[in-house]
Amino acid sequence: MELILREDVLKLGRRGDVVQVSAGYGRNYLLPKKLAVPLTAGNRKVVEQIKAAGVRREAKEQTEAEQLAALLAKVTLTIARKAGETGTLFGSVTSMDVADALEKLGYQIDRRKILLEDPIKQLGEYPVPVRVHREVTASVNVQVVAEQE
């Protein structure tokens, strides 16, 4: 059974894709939940128009993401934390802290887009990758300094 997906379906395809599925999966799951519509000549034309609009929108989003990535590459965040004599932090700097610091500068970045593998636990300067788009990743410099008492 050939169907056109109306929404992204995990492990099957993205919105607007024409997919081949078993009749039972299509009839009992995808069609009743309105996740897909049957493939007809009329629907195929509509899908082509939607895909063309989607390609234009995706290109625009990627261009905007690249511009944001260029701005973020110039940003250096300074985060102050209490630290011991050896430079070890009492606590750590997490992706949430980086997101808060970016928000103070006017950048609305979701903490889940900040690809900090492990929390920062030492004083110093660290490059932190930020995914601004599926295909665009920027790097923000985070400088962790000792908090003045």
User: What is the per-residue pLDDT for 124?
Assistant: 95
User: What is the per-residue pLDDT for 45?
Assistant: 86
Residues of the chain short of pLDDT 70, as ranges, are 149
Give the angle subtended at the CA of 77 by the CAs of 73 and 81, to the nearest 5°: 150
Q: Measured between alpha carbons, how far is 125 from 93 in angstroms, rounded to an integer?
A: 12
User: What is the per-residue pLDDT for 24?
Assistant: 96
User: What is the per-residue pLDDT for 16?
Assistant: 83
User: What is the per-residue pLDDT for 20?
Assistant: 95
User: What is the per-residue pLDDT for 49?
Assistant: 84
Domains along the chain? 2-68 (3.40.5.10), 69-146 (3.10.430.100)
